[in-house]
Chain A
């Protein structure tokens, strides 16, 4: 996230609701959202099949919708749904067993289901362990590509429907459906294990999980395409997944750092775009519109994780966001602190994007000229040639240094590289301002 110079991106209010439900079923819907990931994780472990688990849970929800309206909510709706779905699983397997031609395919599931006796499936008795960690590591298995990891995580752990995921990523529904079908078939055919990885690969695998969650957040925060800049639904879902990950692995400081980072960035959402839907840079944002509760939570989290002494990417980025959050006015930003944090970040992350951000921070703290030099160094050898924020950052510094012609060229390059309409508008506005300056001076 390049959030310092003129490149902070706008926010908008085009809230896409995830689920449109009538009020009478609001409670069921709530339970659905809250419990989906946990229940499906358990059902997948029991059945050994994503598809069987999904079908059984779907049927359980149908039963719930019919039954709860009459009888009221069970004492523990999650447990009720799990046991009901578990029974549906047994039914499904029994049905399949009668069709002998399909028996071999299900042998695996039957063996897994065998130890359970239907009569003992009582929600007050059976206690299911939390299987969500297995689920998230399976969804983010490295032999699935990143897009698939994202889709599968949202579908299973997040409980989003295929339609919702397709809409969020602006893809045709059949494309998304096919992606999910292929993912599930690959898990089955290649036998991707439904397990928490062993310690020797855990940190690497956890990094992939964090990357998927942060990618979902970023896709929501700065949509790569389309008319709106922010897709609130994806941000909210990423934060929810971040919370789940913290809850499941509370001793991983980077999980906490990731959640803090998302909360702090999300706190600025409302202020990132003005009434006309135009982008407002961090410098010009109305800070009274920042979400104080998000900031407070983000600060609390980062203060908790940093002293643990295992500083990483997300914690440092969160710390940088925290410095911004603590400045009441743009002019009061502690830039030297931000520069120091970026230096720390560069030590552990050699990405040219981090170097670019560092240059942008130095520009604010030690002068535009020095900043520009560092920004250009970050992009040396064409490493950032296709990264639109590199050109936007360069353009902004050239503008501030009063080199309108070069600034214009850089803005045009940036304009050609972004596919988001709000970002394009912002760059066009800057280009317009440059032309005015040109007119006055020439």
Chain B
């Protein structure tokens, strides 16, 4: 089963970390990635550039609107993701718990729709 782990954190707080603190977080991420890799669970994952670099695309009435964004006034921003392959949601949650940002932010665990049958279920 594939799960997408969406990592939300407070971007401002993250960028306010000191360099050693940040390196510590990155180290934890690298170790987690290695563990997932050796267990055959890792498919993909990455940190994202800050939301200031984002673009939002909408098409309305046949007109495309490409804008600066996102504008959502939320406390936490999407800062990265893991795509993993595990047996069930319990395992996915167990992985999510090891994500460093879960301690300060939120990790959303989302199973992928892997077949049309599921989509229609």
Contact = CB atoms under 8 A, between A and B. Distances in A.
B49 A143 contact: no
A186 B53 contact: yes
Interface residues on B, range: under 10
B102 interface: no
Interface string A52-81: 000000000000000000000000000000
B52 A143 contact: no
Interface string B34-59: 00000000000000011011110000
A333 B60 CA distance: 41
A185 B52 CA distance: 9
Contacts of A148: 68
Contacts of B53: 185-186, 189-190
Contacts of A190: 49, 53-55
A113 to B, nearest CB: 25
A174 interface: no
B83 to A, nearest CB: 22
B66 A142 contact: yes
A182 interface: yes
Contacts of B67: 142-143, 145
Contacts, number: 25
A144 interface: yes
B99 to A, nearest CB: 23
B68 A144 contact: yes
Contacts of B54: 143, 190
Interface residues of A, number: 10
Which of A142, A145, A148, A182 has the largest count of B CB atoms less than 10 A from its CB?
A142
A409 B67 CA distance: 38
Contacts of B52: 182, 185-186
Interface in A166-200: 182, 185-186, 189-190
B49 A189 contact: yes
A143 B66 CA distance: 6
A190 B55 CA distance: 9
A242 B53 CA distance: 29
A178 to B, nearest CB: 10
Nearest to A142: B66
Contact of B55 (A143, A182, A185): A143
Nearest to B63: A204
Which of B52, B53, B67 has the largest count of A CB atoms less than 10 A from its CB?
B53
Which of A143, A148, A182 has the largest count of B CB atoms less than 10 A from its CB?
A143
Interface of B: 49-50, 52-55, 66-68
Given A142-B55, A185-B52, 20 more contacts: A142-B66, A142-B67, A143-B54, A143-B55, A143-B66, A143-B67, A143-B68, A144-B68, A145-B67, A145-B68, A148-B68, A182-B52, A186-B52, A186-B53, A189-B50, A189-B53, A190-B49, A190-B53, A190-B54, A190-B55
10 smallest CB-CB distances across A and B, nearest first, come from: A143-B55, A145-B68, A142-B66, A190-B53, A189-B53, A186-B53, A189-B49, A182-B52, A144-B68, A143-B68
